[in-house]
Structure 1
Amino acid sequence: MTTPPATPHRRPAWAGRNYTLLTTAAVVTGLGNSGALIAAAFAVLDAGGDGTDVGLVAAARTAPLVLFLLIGGAVADRLPRHRVMVAANTLNCLSQATFAALVLSGDAALWQMAVLAGVGGTGQAFFAPAAEGMVLSSVTGEQASRAFAFFRMGVNGANIGGAALGGALIAAVGPGWVLAIDAAAFAFAGALRAFLDVSHTPARAPGGGLLRELAEGWREVAGRPWLWSIVGQFAVVNAVVAAAESVYGPQVAEDHLGGARPWGVALAAFGAGTLGGGLLMTRWRPRRMLLVGTVCVFPLALPSAALAVPLPMAGLASVMFLCGVTVEVFGVCWMMTLHQEIPEDKFSRVSAYDWFGSVAMLPVATALAGPTERLVGRSTALWGCSALVLLLTAVVLLVPDVRRLRRRTDAPRPAAATPAGSTPVSATPVAGPTGGPSGGQVTARGPQSTGGDPGLGQGG
């Protein structure tokens, strides 16, 4: 009897139910969020506000994110993570729906928009630590790198497309309807995440109180030199890159490049680079993940230098594209390292410290960018941003664990970290028979390099 031909899979074998639900939800909220960020700014301006008011609403969104991130990490390690994600999506849905209703009614006041932005930031603070690692836990170790790269490509593509679509919709129907679409996106994403199958997740032992759990998370960070050094590095790198690109970049474009259009082209080139980097990481699985990722941080010094010169639009766009590629390589390498090295029951708390380090200095850097420019000049300030990126990245490469840690695929996730100052056993592997490590398994993030923008996003 002839065997019927096999039905081709519509998706890769490793892209199971949980992976598909998580990726679809992240793409949907990425589309909604990107447009909503633009809509919120235009809503403030349409209500009679100015640039300062737009900044105040953005700050109102960032402040609770910084304040509640660590608590969000502890909660996500205490409760089922998918429930925390659904609760955060519900909160964001309600806040955006209320924001949209006020804007559509024409009665939105600045204080109301600031409060609702703060509610959105609170949702992000609880969502982000819970979401970290969920995608990687939904695929096998052998395919984890490729799966995460595809996930990030989907989210980055959604962010790019959402910004373009949001801008067009704001022009056509106004910011209120774009905010309403974002609320609907959160509702849909929350519904998808409610159907995640978490039966494979090990039961967690009862905690010993919030402060004790936060202390345990800190010990995990402090006991791993590679972890705290990179988190510290990105606390500064994210801050200076954000200052250069959000404050100095538009000014340089206005004074030397011809206005907003070339700056928009440069930012679009960065987005295209992230897609290219994601495509690269679907094929490339570097063994020394942290070493490769850290080397890929060096190009983040180039945009500030290009603005300091300044380069013409074509040169600036090329630099931004390269940065997008390398940021994506770092992002995949970093998340793979965290997933390999951090115990599952402490993952959200460690992720919360990672997020906290990544966003804590953003408001300070953007606030000081103007005074620094007046004090030393814009060009000097931009060269200083580049120098800080290069210096801190070179210092991180001096950490032995960063250079030695290798990818593993055949061992369970590790136990808790060793005391601070000692070297984790898994970070200095002994070469096995094939040249790889012989046993044991293993977030600073690049600027906007993850699925949710920590500075402005509502929580994906």
Structure 2
Amino acid sequence: MGRGQQNSGHEPTRKPLSRPSWARRNYLLLTGATVIANLGSSGALIATAFAVLASGGSATDVGLVAAARTVPLVLFLLIGGAVADRLPRHHVMVAANALSCGSQGLFALLVLGGEPRLWQMAVLAAFGGTGQAFFAPASEGMVLASVSGEHAGRAFAVFRMGMNGANIGGAALGGALVAAVGPGWVLAVDAASFAVAGALRAFLDVSGTPVRTRRGGILRDLRDGWQEVVSRPWLWAIVLQFSLVNAVISAAQAVYGPLVAEEHLGGPGPWGLALAAFGAGT
């Protein structure tokens, strides 16, 4: 009997790698789109700050552009959630991606074309924040709807890992690209990433999604939501806490960090690595 015949009964059978049963088409499309979009967005945050500095802007100007993105994000987030409860979520997501793609594309053209003005950068940043405000509530609801209840926790954990990994990698890669080719091209890459992500989300299969019943007005929903939050001290305390923490971190990351990197660390490359290290630690 040959050696191959003697060992054939003792070698373990290797099962081919396969995706989990809960990772179906919609889930994979949503996760892939999120990873692609976040890779571009993390680099774009660095590119925006250095684009303002490259145009002769001051620390105040960098802060104004950062605030122009943050304020609409905060103001429209609740409205975005109410809209996501009424309209098909995948339509809201694709529309928000289209808005972000357009605003970042115009931002890139301004930066690549010469000297963008402060008000132009602020307006385009505001459009980007508005798109994110409408996108985020629809996105999380769509991810949880793409898997069955018993697998929702695991699926959402994997989704968040992919998203956070893209944030870390995107920050490091974005900083290196800003240093190598300039902020305008990184903003263009971000616009392209939103276009790809929106295209992937447009292919979601929503034929089995149950039709949601039409409710009252948006103002009524916002009032009811506010009452639900204030009636739970643990909830509004956490929201208040993280609002303060995020305000401090955002100020450091969006304004102070790029200035220190520009003056003392060698520019956007080291700052991208610092943000990647911060993300990995977080």
Normalising by structure 2, we get a TM-score of 0.83
Residue 37 of structure 2 corresponds to residue 29 of structure 1: yes
Structural mapping, 1:273-422, within 5 Å:
321=281, 324=282
Equivalence for 1:218: 226
1:105 to 113, 134, 157: 113
Structure 1 residues 151-176: Cα deviation after superposition (integer angstroms, max 9, x where no partner): 11211111111112112222222211
CA 1:167/1:215 → structure 2, altered by over 3 Å: closer, same or farther? same
CA distance in 1, matches of 2:155, 2:257: 34
Question: Residues 40 and 189 of structure 2 are in contact (CA less than 8 Å); yes or no, is this contact kept in structure 1?
Answer: yes
The structure with more helix, counted as a fraction of residues: 2
Q: Give 3-state SS (helix, strand or coil) of 1:78's partner.
A: coil
Structure 1 residues 196-248: Cα deviation after superposition (integer angstroms, max 9, x where no partner): 22233332222322211212322443454543343233233434555677788
Unaligned runs of 5+ in 2: 1-12
Query: How far is the alpha carbon of 1:111 from its aligned partner?
Result: 1.1
CA distance in 2, matches of 1:244, 1:39: 15
Aligned alpha-carbon RMSD (Å)? 2.9
Equivalent AA in structure 2 for residue 74 of structure 1: A
Residue 208 of structure 2 corresponds to residue 200 of structure 1: yes
Residue 122 of structure 2 corresponds to residue 77 of structure 1: no
Structure 1 residues 64-113: Cα deviation after superposition (integer angstroms, max 9, x where no partner): 11221121111111111111111000000011111111111114211111
1:146 to 154, 158, 170: 154
Equivalence for 1:372: none
2:55 to 47, 58, 83: 47
Equivalent AA in structure 2 for residue 215 of structure 1: R
Unaligned runs of 5+ in 1: 273-320, 325-460
Equivalence for 1:234: 242
CA 1:245/1:27 → structure 2, altered by over 3 Å: closer, same or farther? closer
Question: Residues 172 and 273 of structure 2 are in contact (CA less than 8 Å); yes or no, is this contact kept in structure 1?
Answer: no
Aligned-residue sequence identity (percent) comes to 73
Q: Give 3-state SS (helix, strand or coil) of 2:21's partner.
A: coil
Question: Residues 49 and 254 of structure 2 are in contact (CA less than 8 Å); yes or no, is this contact kept in structure 1?
Answer: no
Which structure has more RCO (C-alpha within 8 Å, separation ≥ 6)? 2
Structure 1 residues 421-452: Cα deviation after superposition (integer angstroms, max 9, x where no partner): xxxxxxxxxxxxxxxxxxxxxxxxxxxxxxxx
| Aligned length, in residue pairs | 266
Normalising by structure 1, we get a TM-score of 0.52
Query: How far is the alpha carbon of 1:185 from its aligned partner?
Result: 0.5
Structural mapping, 1:106-125, within 5 Å:
106-125=114-133
Equivalent AA in structure 1 for residue 157 of structure 2: A
CA distance in 2, matches of 1:133, 1:194: 16
Question: Residues 63 and 255 of structure 2 are in contact (CA less than 8 Å); yes or no, is this contact kept in structure 1?
Answer: no
Equivalence for 1:67: 75
CA 1:84/1:168 → structure 2, altered by over 3 Å: closer, same or farther? same
